[in-house]
Amino acid sequence: MEKILEILSELNMIAVSVRMLLAMLLGGVLGLEREQYKRAAGFRTFIIVCVGSALATMTGIYMKEIALSTEAARIPAQIISGMGFLGAGTILVTRNSKVKGLTTAASLWTSACIGIAVGAGFYAGAILGTLAIMLVLGILRLLESSMRHKSRECEIYLEATSNSVMRQIVRMSKANDIKTFDFEVSSIDDGKERVLSIIFRAKRNKSDMTWEEYVEALENLSDVIFVEEI
């Protein structure tokens, strides 16, 4: 076992192959989770980032070994700073001012860090880091969803074609013992028809209605063309 670890700690053909394959595997594991939710950066993107980071890190180590550079950490440092530009491309602000893609951007940045760890031969850190991120993206997602499901308050974004929808929202909410407040109304002109954009908060009193059921009830109101919990 010690002999194997010694071989893998050096920068030989076997070690380079193992590090590349491990970078592909760990990057792919993270990418599959993002691919499942149809994110902009998916399976192949994560693999490319992770493998590229591993290659750059090994290049830095190689350059130090052949005395072309005395600073092996310089290239990995540039990877970390450069990943900010790639990650920013996955962040979107929707027309209801909701920010999406932060988790994907953070995961992509972490994929680069894992690639750096693999490239440097820090196998334990790379594997444990991947497991930690999968825990956050998988199991903790369920916890977050459960907490949101049990929350007494939620924020709703809704689009409608008539001002009368405001009265319908208040009436339906009162009938289900839900208080509505903090309405923000603006107009969207898509070139075909005038659409109202409405953001408001809702609070359950003693209502047994879930927020999924509440959103579904809002969808059934006349003149409503789009609604989501934000």
125-172 pLDDT, tens per residue? Answer: 788 888 877 877 777 667 666 666 677 888 888 988 888 888 999 999
Compute the average pLDDT of residues 173-187: 89
Strands (E), 96-163: 99-100, 153-160
* Mean pLDDT, rounded, for 32-57: 72
Alpha-carbon distance of 107 to 99, in angstroms, equals 16
Q: Where along the chain do the CATH 3.30.70.260 domains lie? A: 151-229
> What value, to the nearest 5°, has the Cα angle with vertex 85 and ends 81 and 89?
150
Q: Is-contact 169 183, C-beta < 8 A?
A: no
pLDDT at 52: 75
Q: How much is the CA Rg of the chain, to the nearest whole Å?
A: 25
> What CATH number does domain 151-229 carry, 3.60.20.10, 3.30.70.250, 3.30.1490.70, 3.30.70.260?
3.30.70.260
Written as six digits, the tokens of 102 are 């932060």
How far, in whole angstroms, is CA 11 from its chain's centroid?
Answer: 34
Confidence of residue 123 (pLDDT cuts 50, 70, 90): confident
Report yes or no on whether pTM surpasses 0.85: no
Q: Are strands 224-229 and 178-189 parallel, antiparallel or unpaired?
A: unpaired
pLDDT of res. 23:
86
